[in-house]
Amino acid sequence: EVQLVESGGGLVQPGGSLRLSCAVSGFTFRSYWMSWVRQAPGKGLEWVGNIKQDGSEKYYVASVKGRFTISRDNAKNSLYLQLNSLRVEDTAVYYCVRDVGVVAWDYWGQGTLITVSS
């Protein structure tokens, strides 16, 4: 059974940092691009960024470039999202997702909520 389990969310002050983790099981993690997608409370979906199988390529939405970093550890079947210089508008549920094509994500984690507030 494919499972993606995010952790690391919580309440953080503006300007603060957090690191999200996503533990993956049930498929060959090193064979897939992986992405993070977020959803602000009561709002729509927003792609945050993705990372190639070997970590050699990473892409981000403009609003998080230079602040967020995606990484992965294929030996640990884990995906990470380092969030720095957090802003109120980064408040959202963050989903770890498996890429199966262009803008096609077939497995999603349960999501982890980040609240940026003073």
Residues that bind another protein (CB under 8 A): 37, 44-47, 50, 59, 61-62, 95, 100-106, 108-111
Q: Which is nearer to another protein, 13 or 28 (CB)?
A: 28
Q: How far apart are CA 51 and CA 61, in angstroms?
A: 12
Minimum distance between the CB of residue 50 and another protein, rounded to whole angstroms?
8
Q: How far apart are CA 23 and CA 101, in angstroms?
A: 21
Q: Which is nearer to another protein, 27 or 108 (CB)?
A: 108
* Cα–Cα–Cα angle for 19, 92, 78, rounded to 5 degrees: 35
Q: Which is nearer to another protein, 75 or 104 (CB)?
A: 104
Minimum distance between the CB of residue 47 and another protein, rounded to whole angstroms?
4
The two structure tokens encoding residue 91: 């408040």
Beta pairing, strands 112-116 & 92-101:
antiparallel
